[in-house]
Amino acid sequence: MISKLESKIGFNPKVIIVPLGIPAESVEDVVSRIPSDEKPRNCRTASQMPDLQDEIQDAIYEEYQYIWDDEQHQELYSYFAEFIED
Protein backbone atom coordinates (compact mmCIF):
# COMPACT_ATOMS: atom_id res chain seq x y z
CA MET A 1 0.00 0.00 0.00
CA ILE A 2 2.77 2.44 0.88
CA SER A 3 4.60 1.69 -2.35
CA LYS A 4 1.47 2.79 -4.24
CA LEU A 5 1.31 6.02 -2.25
CA GLU A 6 4.92 6.87 -3.08
CA SER A 7 4.10 7.51 -6.72
CA LYS A 8 1.07 9.63 -5.83
CA ILE A 9 2.53 11.80 -3.07
CA GLY A 10 5.89 12.49 -4.69
CA PHE A 11 8.27 11.37 -1.94
CA ASN A 12 9.46 8.16 -0.32
CA PRO A 13 8.27 7.85 3.28
CA LYS A 14 10.55 6.09 5.73
CA VAL A 15 9.12 2.70 6.72
CA ILE A 16 10.60 0.96 9.76
CA ILE A 17 9.32 -2.49 10.66
CA VAL A 18 9.64 -3.21 14.38
CA PRO A 19 9.90 -6.92 15.23
CA LEU A 20 7.96 -7.20 18.49
CA GLY A 21 9.26 -10.25 20.33
CA ILE A 22 10.53 -12.08 17.24
CA PRO A 23 13.98 -12.09 15.64
CA ALA A 24 14.58 -9.38 13.04
CA GLU A 25 15.83 -12.08 10.68
CA SER A 26 12.35 -13.66 10.61
CA VAL A 27 10.85 -10.37 9.48
CA GLU A 28 13.62 -9.76 6.97
CA ASP A 29 12.96 -13.20 5.43
CA VAL A 30 9.33 -12.27 4.81
CA VAL A 31 10.14 -8.77 3.56
CA SER A 32 12.76 -10.11 1.16
CA ARG A 33 10.07 -12.17 -0.59
CA ILE A 34 7.99 -9.08 -1.40
CA PRO A 35 8.56 -8.01 -5.01
CA SER A 36 10.59 -4.78 -5.11
CA ASP A 37 7.86 -2.91 -6.99
CA GLU A 38 5.45 -3.67 -4.13
CA LYS A 39 7.84 -2.72 -1.34
CA PRO A 40 8.53 0.83 -0.11
CA ARG A 41 11.90 2.08 -1.38
CA ASN A 42 12.94 3.46 2.00
CA CYS A 43 12.22 0.43 4.15
CA ARG A 44 14.25 -1.26 6.87
CA THR A 45 13.81 -3.64 9.75
CA ALA A 46 14.73 -2.45 13.24
CA SER A 47 16.48 -4.62 15.77
CA GLN A 48 14.27 -6.96 17.75
CA MET A 49 12.24 -5.39 20.50
CA PRO A 50 11.22 -7.43 23.56
CA ASP A 51 7.64 -8.67 23.46
CA LEU A 52 6.09 -5.93 25.57
CA GLN A 53 2.80 -5.66 23.72
CA ASP A 54 0.68 -5.99 26.87
CA GLU A 55 2.85 -3.55 28.78
CA ILE A 56 2.73 -1.04 25.94
CA GLN A 57 -1.05 -1.33 25.70
CA ASP A 58 -1.38 -0.78 29.46
CA ALA A 59 0.98 2.21 29.40
CA ILE A 60 -0.82 3.92 26.54
CA TYR A 61 -4.48 3.12 27.15
CA GLU A 62 -4.66 2.73 30.92
CA GLU A 63 -1.87 4.90 32.31
CA TYR A 64 -1.81 7.44 29.44
CA GLN A 65 1.98 7.43 29.24
CA TYR A 66 4.77 6.14 27.05
CA ILE A 67 6.27 2.75 27.82
CA TRP A 68 9.65 4.39 28.52
CA ASP A 69 8.09 6.47 31.31
CA ASP A 70 8.03 3.24 33.34
CA GLU A 71 11.26 2.80 35.33
CA GLN A 72 11.63 -0.78 34.10
CA HIS A 73 11.53 0.23 30.42
CA GLN A 74 13.38 3.56 30.28
CA GLU A 75 15.92 2.10 27.82
CA LEU A 76 13.17 1.93 25.19
CA TYR A 77 13.29 5.71 24.81
CA SER A 78 16.59 5.46 22.94
CA TYR A 79 15.25 2.49 20.93
CA PHE A 80 12.36 4.59 19.59
CA ALA A 81 14.37 7.83 19.36
CA GLU A 82 16.67 6.06 16.90
CA PHE A 83 13.79 5.87 14.42
CA ILE A 84 13.36 9.64 14.42
CA GLU A 85 17.06 10.44 14.37
CA ASP A 86 17.83 7.97 11.57
For residue 7, the model assigns a pLDDT of 65
Q: For 21-45, how does the pLDDT look when each residue is reduced to its tens digit (9 = 90+)?
A: 899 999 999 999 999 888 888 889 9
How far is Cα 18 from Cα 50, in angstroms, rounded to an integer? 10
Local confidence band at 4 (pLDDT 50, 70, 90 cut-offs): low
pLDDT (tens digit, 9 = 90+) per residue, 45-75?
A: 999 999 999 999 999 999 999 999 999 999 9
- Read off the pLDDT band of 85 (50, 70, 90): confident
The predicted structure's pLDDT at residue 19: 93
**At CB < 8 A and 24+ separation, what contacts does 68-77 make?**
76/49, 76/52
Half-sphere exposure of 6 (CA within 13 A, CB side): 14
pLDDT of residue 11: 74
Pairing of the two strands 15-17 and 43-45: parallel
Q: Counting runs of H as helices and runs of E as strands, what totals does the chain give?
A: 4, 2
Quick check: helix, strand or coil at residue 65? coil
In the DSSP assignment, the letter for residue 40 is: -
